[in-house]
Amino acid sequence: MFSILRSIGLTFSHLFRKKVTVRYPEERLALPARWRGRIILSRDPDGGERCVACYLCAVACPVGCIALQAAEDDHGRRFPAFFRINFSRCIFCGLCEDACPTCAIQLVPDYEMSEYDRQNMVYEKEHLLVDGQGKYPGYDFYKTAGVSIPGKKKEGDGDEEPPVDLRSLLP
Amino acid sequence: MPVEVSRATIFVEGKPFEASATTNLLDACLSLGFDIPYFCWHPALGSAGACRLCAVKKFANEKDARGRIVMSCMEPVVDGLRISIDDPQAREFRASVLEWLMASHPHDCPVCDEGGECHLQDMTVMTGHVYRQYRFKKRTHRSQDLGPFVNHEMNRCIQCYRCTRFYRDYAGGGDLAEFASRDRLFYGRHEDGVLESPFSGNLVEVCPTGVFTDKTFKRHFTRKWDLATAPSVCVHCSLGCNTIPGERYGTLRRIRNRYNSRVNGYFLCDRGRFGYEFVNDAKRIRKARLAGHGSTDGDDETREFLLRRAAEAVAGPHQAIGIGSPRASLEANFALRELVGAGRFYAGVADNEWRLTELALKILRGGPARPASLADVRLSDAVLVLGEDVTNTAPLLDLALRQAARRGPVEAVVKAGTPDWHALAVTDLVQDARGPVFVAATHRTALAAVAEEFLLTPDETARLGFAVARRIAGEASPGDLPPELESAAARIARALQAADRPLVVAGVCGGDPAVLRAAAAAARALSNGKRKAGLFLVFPESNSVGLALLGAGSLKDGIDRVMSGEAGTAIILENDLYRRLPAGAADRFFDKCRSAILLDHVHHATAERAGLVVPAATFAESEGTLVNAEGRAQRFFKVCPPPRGVRESWRWLCDFARAAGRREAAGLRNLDDLILAIAAEFPELAGIREAAPPAGFRIHGSKVPRESQRSSGRTSIHAEADVREGAPPLDLDSPLAFSMEGAPGIPPSPLIPRFWRPGWNSVQSVNKYQAGIGGPLRDGDPGRRLIEPPASTSPGFSVDGPRAETVGAGEGLLFVPVYQIFGSEELSVRAPAVASLIPKPVLLLHPDDAVMLGIGSGDRVELEVQGETLSLPAKITAEMCRGAAGVPVAPSGALGLDLPARGKIRTVRKP
C-alpha cells in the first residue's frame, strides 16, 4: 500500500520538474562542439584544401564507408580527386577524425541527415568540403611537413636549415 | 648464395638454435624468425655496417652476464655464439640510433608514397621510438628530376648507402653516387637527368624509405593496403620474371617484384616494372567492333552476336585458319588450336624467327648442357655471349651476367677467408677485377663494361663460336678466322674450360641459326666430362617457348593457305601481323582474307584491318600459363575481373568452339579444363598442372584473398553508382578471391598475392616467406621446369661448320636488328613513361662502311629490304661492326622485317 502511494507521489512530482523532452524541430538542443555528427572536410587558414588524400581515414573506417583517390596539382600539392562517404553506412565513430594527420576530416554537431532515398546518403567531395577551418583553427599541415607548395619552399623554411651545399668542402 | 656447408649452434636468449655457419648473425636470426631491425643490410647486397641499427648483445661465454654490443650484420656465425636481442641495453641502443636517423626526417608521411609500406616506419615502430627530442632544425636537400620512372625526395634519406650499393656495385650503373659527408650526405646524379641504368626502378624497392619512389605510381597513387594484388608473370620479355601487379578502382596501378629465387630474385628491369600502363591505355580495345557496324556494348546480346558471327566464320564453307601468338598464354593458344584444328594452327611469328625458335627448342631439348635459370646465370664463373644484345632483349639477364662477371673474383676472395656477405670488404678486395665474360655482338652492348666484347657480323660470330667449340673439344681449327679472332677463340676456350660453371648465352633475337648452332656446339663441348655447363637461349617474347612447345605451322604456310583461296577466315590471337610481315604482304593478306577475326587488347594496325575485333583481357585480367626461356611454366592470375564486355582470350575461343559445334571443346569451360586437356595431349607439357594449385584448392575451406586485411572503402567504392553493395565477383578459375576475406597466413608459393607480415609492411617482409634468407620460398619457388635434357653426351660428337647456313649470303649490304629495351617490345611502348624514353630511330654504320658507301653522319638514307623501303638518318659509329648496318627494331624501324637480311641502301638527303 505504501509503495503504491510512493510511486504515485513520485510520478506526480515530475509535474514540477524541468522538462527533458524538447519540441523538435521548433526547439533544438545546444550540442557540444565535439559532438560526433555529420562529417566535413575543412580548409586551412589560407583557404586551401586541408585534405592531402593520405588514405588514413579510409583505412581507419571500421565500416569501409570512405573511398577517395589521391591526385597532385602542378605544384606538387596533394588533394583528393574524389572523396566519397557513404553516410548510410557511417557509424559516426570518429576514428577517421582521429586518424587524420591534417585535421581535414572533422565530425560536426549536425545530425539532420534523413533522406527518403538511401542513394542520397552518398556524399561526394562537393557535399563534404566546407569553407572554414572547423574545430581546429590555425593548423596548416604544409607549414610543418617539409614539402614544397606555392608560398612555402620545402627547403630552408620554418623548422628547416637551408639546403645542403654539396660543393662545400667544410667539415 | 653459396651452398651451405656447415651448421652451427647459436644461443639466442640462452636457447640453442641451428644456423648456417657461412653467414652473418643478422641473416641467421632473420632466417630463424627473430625480428632484428636493420637498414643497410640487404639480402642481395650483403652487409655494410653503415646504419648501426641491428645491434645485439654478444656474450663471451655462459658465465658472461655483461656482454658487449655488436652489429649483428657484421658478426659471423660461429658455433656456440651467445647473443641477446631483447637485452635492455641493446634495445636502448637501437632506439637511440633510430632517433638519430629520424632527427632530420621530414614530417610528410601523409603525402609520401612509401607510407604504409615503409621500412623506416616499420623499424621505428619495432624499436619503439615515438617522440622527437631533437630541438634543432632539420637538414634539407635539393631533390633532383631523375626522369620518368623514379621520383627523388632527398629530405627523407637516412643515409644507408643501399641505393648506390645496388645501382653502382650490383647493377653496374655509372650515374648515381654519394656526395658530401656526415649528415649532409647526398645520393643522386651529378646533375638532373634520366637515370641511365635499365634497373633504376629497383631503387624504389631497395630504398628503405621514400627517397626513391615510383613516379608512374605517383600519378594514380594508392596505398599498398588498398591495392588488390595477385601473383603474376611479366609479359615484356622471355625471362618470365615474377611480379605483383596492383589494382584499384579498375585500373592497374603498379608492378612490384615477386621474389622467386630461381628467376628474378629481388629485382626487375624498368621495362617490366614501368611497362604496365598499356593496360590502362585509352586506345585499348574494350568493345567488340564489326567492320562497317562500329563498336558495340558489352552486353549479353553482343556476346551472343559475336558467338554467332565467329561460329559462322569457323563452321562456314570457307575454311578457317588460326594464327597463334607468342605473347598469349598457353591456354589461349591451345584453345585456338582446338577451335581451328591442329593442322590449321599457325605460329604468329615471322618465319625466320619461328625457324630459329624451333631450332633453339631442339637445342635445349637435346642437351647435354642444361637450360640455365637466371639463378644459375648469377652463379656462373665464365660466360660466352654469342650474337645477342641481352640488355635490350632480356634485360634482367644483363643484371644476372653482371653478377656472373664478379663471381670468379668474389670466389677467390671468399677462398682467401673473407666471407661473401661482407660486402664492403669483398668490394674492396675485388676492386675492378672481373671474371671471364666474352660477348660477340654486331654492335656495342651495355655488357661491354664487364666483358671483353667483339664486334662481329652474325657470320663471324658463328665462326668464332664454332672455333671455340672446336678448341674445347680438342679438334683442329678449320682456319676460316682471321688471326686475331683465332687467338681470341683460344683465349675464350681456355677461360671456359678453366671454369667450374661455364655458361653459353645466345638467342633467337640475333636472328642467325648458325650462331645458335655455334652456341649449342660450345655448350655441348663444355659439357664433356663432369663439368656442368649451362646454356641460356633468349627468346623474343613472353610465351615464345610455350607456343613452340605446342607446335604450329609457319606463318608463311598459313598466309599461303589464305592467298591460294583454300581458307577464307583467319582467327588472329593477340597478334599484330604488321609486326610479323612486311606491310605490303600484310596488306595483301587482309585484302584476300574474307573474314579476319582478331582477339586482342591493344590497338594496332591489324585491328584496323580485321573485320571483327573481339576485346580480350590483358595479363592483369586473365589467368594462364607462360613458359619462359628456361622452359619454366609459370601461372599468372588475374588481379581484377575484366572490364564489361571484355573476356579472356581462352574463354572467348572456347565459347566460339562450342558455338561452332566442336565436340572437343564441349568440356572446356574453365582454366583447369584447358590445363588438363593440354597436359593430356602434350606429355611434355604435363608439368603445367603443377605450376600452381587448381581452382578447387582451399586452405581450411577458404580461398586466398586478393585484397589485404586492411583494404578500405568496401561500402563506398561503388556507392556513387548504386548505394547497395553487391556480392564480390566470383572467380571460378583460380583459388584466389576478389575479397579481403579468406585464408590468412602464407599460401603456397605460386599463390602469394603480396608480401606482408604483421610488423613488416614493406617489401622486406619477403624474409618471412623464405626458407632461409636469399633461399627459395618456403614450399619451393613457383613454376615447373618443362625441359630437362638427357645428362649424357653422345660419344661420337663433332661440331659442324657454319658455312652453308649463314643467313643473308648474297649481294647488298647486310642489315642486322638492333633491339632497344624501350621501343622494341610491343606492349610496353604504350606506357607513357616508357614511350617517353624511346630513342629516335637511326641506322648504325661503321665508319669504314660509311666511307665505302659515301654516307655521312646524319644523312637520311633509304633502305630497301624484303620489298619494303625504310627511311632513316644514319649514325656513323665505331660501336657497330664492319660489314653490317644496324636497323632499330622499333616503330618506323625494322618492325615487320625478318632481319638479318641483305638489301640496298642509298642516300636521300644531306643534313
Q: Would the CB atoms of A164 and B180 count as touching at under 8 Å?
A: yes
Q: Considering only A136-150, B198-212, B449-463, B541-555, which range has the smallest mean pLDDT? A: A136-150
Mutate to test the interface with A, among B140, B182, B213, B224 (most CBs of A within 10 A): B140
Q: Would the CB atoms of B723 and A88 count as touching at under 8 Å?
A: yes
pLDDT for B805 beyond 70 = no
B61 at interface of A, judged by CB pairs closer than 8 A: no
- What residues does A41 pair with on adjacent strands? A105, A129
pLDDT for B304 beyond 90 = no
* Banded pLDDT at B864 (limits 50, 70, 90): confident
Element counts in chain B: helices (H) and strands (E): 25, 38
- Segment B811-823 shows an average pLDDT of 89
Which fold, B289-349+546-769?
A: Rossmann fold (3.40.50)
pLDDT at B801: 53
- Segment A85-97 shows an average pLDDT of 95
Residues 69-88 of A with CB under 8 A from B: 69-70, 72, 78, 84-86, 88
| Residues B378-393 pLDDT 10s | 999 999 999 999 999 9
* Banded pLDDT at B804 (limits 50, 70, 90): very low
| Residues B131-157 pLDDT 10s | 888 888 888 898 999 999 999 999 999
* Burial readout B500-537 (b: 16 or more C-beta within 10 A, e: otherwise): ebbbbbbbbbbbbbbbbbbbbbbbbbbbbeeebbbbbb
| Residues B159-171 pLDDT 10s | 999 999 999 999 9
pLDDT at B59: 94
* Banded pLDDT at B909 (limits 50, 70, 90): low
Q: If you average pLDDT over every residue of chain B, what do you get?
A: 90
A95 at interface of B, judged by CB pairs closer than 8 A: no
Report the chain A residue with the minimal C-alpha distance to residue B223.
A55
Most confident of A116-125, B313-322, B790-799: A116-125
| Residues B496-528 pLDDT 10s | 999 999 999 999 998 889 999 999 999 988 987
A9 at interface of B, judged by CB pairs closer than 8 A: no
Q: The domain at B807-909 falls in which architecture?
A: Beta Barrel (2.40)
Q: For A155, which of B110, B142, B717 is closest by C-beta distance?
A: B142
pLDDT for B808 beyond 50 = no
| Residues B175-223 pLDDT 10s | 999 998 888 899 999 999 999 999 999 999 999 999 999 999 999 999 9
B48 closest CA partner among B207, B216, B160, B213: B160
Chain B residue numbers touching A58 (CB-CB < 8 A): 226, 712-713
Q: Would the CB atoms of A102 and B110 count as touching at under 8 Å?
A: yes
Chain A: closest CA distance from residue B102 (Å): 13
Q: The domain at B354-539 falls in which architecture?
A: 3-Layer(aba) Sandwich (3.40)
A54 at interface of B, judged by CB pairs closer than 8 A: yes
- Nearby residues of A2 by Cβ (< 8 Å), 6 or more positions away: none
A65 at interface of B, judged by CB pairs closer than 8 A: yes
Mutate to test the interface with A, among B716, B717, B741, B756 (most CBs of A within 10 A): B716
pLDDT at B130: 86
- Whether the CB-CB separation of B201 and B270 falls below 8 Å is answered with yes
Report the chain A residue with the minimal C-alpha distance to residue B710.
A59
Q: Considering only A33-42, B529-538, B687-696, B730-739, which range has the smallest mean pLDDT? A: B529-538
A67 at interface of B, judged by CB pairs closer than 8 A: yes
In Å, how far are B288, B386, B595, B617 from B314, measured between CA atoms?
A: 18, 44, 10, 22
Give the span between the Cα atoms of B359 and B807, in whole angstroms.
14
Q: Would the CB atoms of A122 and B717 count as touching at under 8 Å?
A: no
A103 at interface of B, judged by CB pairs closer than 8 A: no
Most confident of A153-162, B395-404, B716-725, B852-861: B395-404
Residues 94-133 of B with CB under 8 A from A: 106-111, 115-116
pLDDT at B680: 94
Question: CATH number of the domain at A31-144, out of 3.40.50.720, 3.30.70.3270, 3.40.1260.20, 3.40.50.2000?
Answer: 3.30.70.3270
B663 at interface of A, judged by CB pairs closer than 8 A: no
- What residues does B597 pair with on adjacent strands? B571, B612
Sequence spans of domains, chain B: 7-102, 289-349+546-769, 354-539, 807-909
Number of other CB atoms surrounding residue A99 within 10 Å: 16
pLDDT at B107: 86
Start-to-end CA distance of chain B, whole Å, equals 54
In Å, how far are B120, B162, B178, B643 from B159, measured between CA atoms?
A: 12, 8, 9, 44
Q: Would the CB atoms of B186 and A159 count as touching at under 8 Å?
A: no
| Residues B344-357 pLDDT 10s | 999 999 999 999 99
Mutate to test the interface with B, among A39, A50, A166, A167 (most CBs of B within 10 A): A166
pLDDT at B1: 43
pLDDT for A146 beyond 80 = no
pLDDT for B803 beyond 60 = no
Cα B293 to chain centroid distance, Å, stands at: 40
Q: Would the CB atoms of B110 and A65 count as touching at under 8 Å?
A: no
pLDDT for B79 beyond 70 = yes
Q: Would the CB atoms of B110 and A168 count as touching at under 8 Å?
A: no
Report the chain A residue with the minimal C-alpha distance to residue B224.
A55
Which fold, B7-102?
A: Ubiquitin-like (UB roll) (3.10.20)
Q: Would the CB atoms of B182 and A171 count as touching at under 8 Å?
A: yes
B180 at interface of A, judged by CB pairs closer than 8 A: yes
Chain B: closest CA distance from residue A139 (Å): 14
Sequence spans of domains, chain A: 31-144
DSSP string for B169-183: IIT--SS-EEES-GG
Chain B residue numbers touching A59 (CB-CB < 8 A): 223, 225-226, 710, 712
Residues 197-226 of B with CB under 8 A from A: 218-223, 225-226
Start-to-end CA distance of chain A, whole Å, equals 96
| Residues B844-855 pLDDT 10s | 999 998 998 888
A59 at interface of B, judged by CB pairs closer than 8 A: yes
Q: What angle do CA B796, B802, B806 make, to 5 degrees?
A: 145
| Residues B634-643 pLDDT 10s | 999 999 999 9
Number of other CB atoms surrounding residue B219 within 10 Å: 14
A119 at interface of B, judged by CB pairs closer than 8 A: yes
Q: Would the CB atoms of B111 and A54 count as touching at under 8 Å?
A: yes
- Segment B865-875 shows an average pLDDT of 87
Report the chain B residue with the minimal C-alpha distance to residue A86.
B716
Q: Amino acid identity, residue B556?
A: K
Q: For B138, which of A61, A70, A159 is closest by C-beta distance?
A: A159
A149 at interface of B, judged by CB pairs closer than 8 A: no
Q: Would the CB atoms of A122 and B720 count as touching at under 8 Å?
A: yes
Q: Would the CB atoms of A54 and B226 count as touching at under 8 Å?
A: no
* Location of C-alpha cell 553487391: B726
Is there a common fold for B7-102 and B289-349+546-769? no
Chain B residue numbers touching A144 (CB-CB < 8 A): 107
Q: For B110, which of A54, A64, A118 is closest by C-beta distance?
A: A54
Chain A: closest CA distance from residue B908 (Å): 44
B886: helix, strand or coil:
strand
Report the chain B residue with the minimal C-alpha distance to residue A81.
B220
- What residues does B784 pair with on adjacent strands? B633
* Banded pLDDT at A151 (limits 50, 70, 90): low
Q: What φ, ψ does residue B447 adopt, rounded to 5°?
A: -70, -10
Q: Would the CB atoms of A166 and B179 count as touching at under 8 Å?
A: yes
| Residues B699-714 pLDDT 10s | 999 999 999 999 999 9
* Banded pLDDT at A157 (limits 50, 70, 90): low
pLDDT at A156: 56
Q: Would the CB atoms of A154 and B155 count as touching at under 8 Å?
A: yes
Mutate to test the interface with A, among B154, B211, B715 (most CBs of A within 10 A): B715
- For chain B, helix, strand, coil in percent to 5 are 35, 20, 45
Give the span between the Cα atoms of B288 and B297, in whole angstroms.
7
pLDDT at B284: 92
DSSP string for B412-438: HHHHTT--TTBHHHHHHHHTT----EE
B247 at interface of A, judged by CB pairs closer than 8 A: no
Q: For B713, which of A67, A147, A161 is closest by C-beta distance?
A: A67
A144 at interface of B, judged by CB pairs closer than 8 A: yes
Chain B: closest CA distance from residue A132 (Å): 22
